[in-house]
Amino acid sequence: MGFFNFNKIKPEGCENMGAAWRESEIEQLLNEVRDGQTYEEIAKTHKRTVGGIVSRLKDIAYECHNKQMSINEIVVLTSISKNDVIDTIVQKDKRKENIEKRKEKHAAGFELSSKTKPTSQTTSAPSEIAELTNEVVSIKKDVKEILRLMNALYDFESQ
């Protein structure tokens, strides 16, 4: 299949793929999970992909974690395995931390540039450039992995 095609038509029966989740739909999702429906059945009902259902459940798990709900309570609510809940929390916390670091760096750079009036274009220290380069490489790896997973999901769902 190759790289993910962003212009791809939504798979048949997945008209809501990528659409925002309404509160009533989230409530219905959690009821369906509690009732033991499969992800495939739930996806069909919501006109979304199985990946979209799992992704939303992981988002719900993270939101519950931030509201101080225990891991076991989250597992019961979402039917996501304990390991997947923990992995989700770690990944989302790491992403959140990286965003905060970037904001701090941006704010610090803005404060520095507003205090000093350079007469010529300023350059970053080599260590800052190396750090930014490493961040870009890391982001590229993340994007490639996301694209690989999305392609695998589409391949799987088209079978």
Whole-model pTM: value is 0.61
How many distinct structural domains can be found in the chain? 1
For 42, 58, 102, 108, the CA distances from 84, given in Å and listed in that order, are 19, 8, 27, 36
For residue 87, tell me if it sits in a domain: yes
Tens of pLDDT along the chain (159 residues)? Answer: 445 555 567 888 888 888 899 999 999 999 999 999 999 999 999 999 999 999 999 999 999 999 999 999 999 999 999 999 999 999 999 998 888 888 888 777 766 655 555 544 455 567 778 788 888 888 888 888 888 888 777 777 777
Q: Is residue 106 domain-resident? A: yes
Give residue 85's domain range. Answer: 23-114
The structure tokens 């519950």 sit at: 64
